[in-house]
Amino acid sequence: MATTLCLDFGNTRLKYAVFEADAFSHEGLLENDSIDTIKELIAKYQPSKSILSSVVNHNAAIETLLQVETNFHKLSHATKLNFTTAVAKPETIGADRLALAAAAAHFFPNKNNLVIALGSCITYNFINQYHELIGGAISPGMEMRFRSMHEHTALLPQARPAWNFPVVAYDTVTNLQSGVIAGIGFEMDGFIDFYEQKYGNFNVVLTGGDAAHFARRLKSRIFTDAHFLFKGLYAISEINNS
């Protein structure tokens, strides 16, 4: 049974996931991207295949290590994909968005898919029923919104997420929570309504660490999958590491 190691290096966290055959096994966080850290992963899981999605300046030496120890692929604009891109400059598409589009094409084929990823930024990724990544939108993520209001004003405090806030808030902190969290919910509802009216045969996938919290706040019926990006990386690995 082949084991695949999927690495996702985002703006705030370095994550990994393990697939046994084609089944998601588990995931974890990495403290750093040192050679020793990756060696420990390889020794523990003995992967025959590996794939790296990175949107940061990571330690380039780990790519050589993964090439030596596994059948390795680094996600880039040159990667073979299960969808096409209709954007003007495909080389500018982030590796994370490529993985999300691959998962949509693989798990929800022949449907119009809007994949909303809640991370450092919120990305809206539209893949049509012909498996074309059309584009989407990017907006500030939850933590970025809380932090920017504190850092770019003289008096507003650094508020934290709380999921039982009132939408009609009663003090400064709850006003900030309502503005950020309810605001994101209304924003997503607006994008979903737009795509739903423009395209039929429509499907929405919500992913990211806070997907379950926001799913309860949306009007539309959606799929939530915290591991959707990793599933896309696995699908891409199968195409490029076969």
Q: Catalogue the active-site residues.
A: 96
DSSP of 56-110, one letter per residue? Answer: S---THHHHHHHHHSEEEE-STTS--SSEE-SS-GGGS-HHHHHHHHHHHHHSTT
Rg (CA), the chain: 19
Helix (H, G, I), strand (E, B) or coil at 15: strand
User: Could you tell me where the beta strands, DSSP code E, fall in 121-173?
Assistant: 121-127, 132-140
214 near 163, Cβ under 8 Å?
A: no
For residue 139, the tally of other CB atoms under 10 A from its CB is 15
What gap in Å lies between CA 155 and CA 152, rounded to an integer? 9
DSSP-derived pairing of the beta strands 121-127 and 112-118: antiparallel
Determine phi and psi for 90, rounding to 5 degrees: -60, -25
Burial zone of 146 (CB within 10 Å; 0-12 exposed, 13-18 middle, 19+ buried): buried
Greatest CA span in the chain, whole angstroms? 59
Q: Which amino acid is at 203?
A: N
